[in-house]
Chains A and B, each alone.
Chain A
Amino acid sequence: MATCLHNIGGSDRNLRLLAIDGGSINGYQDTTETSFESMPIRVKASDSLRDICLLELTDPQASVGSFPKIASPDSLNVGELVFTFGFPHSTDAGRVVLTRQDSIVGAKVLLNSQGVKTKHVVVNLQARPGQSGGPVYSPRLQAVVGMIMGSFAPATQGGILLGNIDPQTLHQTTHAISAEYLQRMVTSV
């Protein structure tokens, strides 16, 4: 499993994986259900420059299935279909609904991570809090090609929040980091 490092709050102490019993993704997810089973997890490896970490279940007997195929987005074309799963509004409004969003690749960019150029894909959708760490999947490559990190925001000081929302992030320029950085972590642990 993998997610954004900023999702875990700086420590994996008492970190748990929610096991949401929604049956099939095509079934109705009960939003009135507020209790979930959970499993303890811990950080296996992290890359703070790129805001990503690998997680593992603390209980060696537990399992959540196999890790999907990972591929670099290098061969993706601009305009190509991708989709993501996530929990939009879960961290800001407590809405826990596994949601699929389809979009296209808007661009492939190199972003500055404190002097280290890092490959990202611009996904043309408006992501919301709770979608960080969501996989970006390419149906053509049948692989995870990226992981949602956040929204484009100008590198400026200051700003305002309206209803705890930064207006500068209200757009369809979502940044997903290349899955190749996950791949190299997976192979090194």
Chain B
Amino acid sequence: MCDSRVASAFDGPPEEWLDALPAWQRADIEELTSRGTRADVVVERYLTVLSATTTAPLGGMGAAFYRDKFTEQIYLFLCSSEQ
């Protein structure tokens, strides 16, 4: 039952997933996907990059922690009873 509910969440056009986002976020993702970039690569880019390519942040952290935390939470949500 739970598995089928989870599976049904992936039915339908992927574009509908973007409808819940603010217009500016939707536009960014649509721009990234418009060139045929795979969805997982878009996620990688959207959740990893923290500044422009030629900008060195003044301290702080500039790593892939958002993507890592996102995938960790998705994993826990789908595969663990902890969430």
For residue B57, give the distance in angstroms from its CB to the closest CB of chain A: 4
Task: Compute how far the CA of A129 lies from the CA of B56 in the bound complex, rounded to whole angstroms.
Answer: 10
Task: Compute how far the CA of A163 lies from the CA of B32 in the bound complex, rounded to whole angstroms.
Answer: 38
Number of residues on chain A facing chain B (CB within 8 A)? 47
Q: Is there contact, CB below 8 Å, between B52 and A6?
A: no
The residues of A that contact B49 with a CB separation of less than 8 Å are: 48-49, 113-114
Binds B, one of A23-31, A75-83, A152-160: A152-160
Task: Compute how far the CA of A179 lies from the CA of B77 in the bound complex, rounded to whole angstroms.
Answer: 36
Task: Compute how far the CA of A118 lies from the CA of B31 in the bound complex, rounded to whole angstroms.
Answer: 13
Whether A51 contacts B50 in the complex (CB less than 8 A), given A91-B59, A188-B24, comes out as yes
Q: Which residue among B23, B24, B32, B55 has the maximum number of chain A CB atoms within 10 Å of its CB?
A: B55
- A144: CB under 8 A from chain B? no
Number of residues on chain B facing chain A (CB within 8 A)? 31
For residue A183, give the distance in angstroms from its CB to the closest CB of chain B: 10
11 further A-B contacts with Cβ under 8 Å, apart from A51-B52, A112-B52, A149-B52, are: A6-B60, A47-B25, A48-B49, A91-B60, A129-B59, A132-B57, A149-B58, A150-B51, A150-B56, A151-B55, A175-B52
Residues of A bordering B, CB below 8 Å: 4-11, 45, 47-51, 91-92, 111-116, 118, 120, 127-132, 148-155, 166, 168-169, 175, 181, 184-185, 188-189
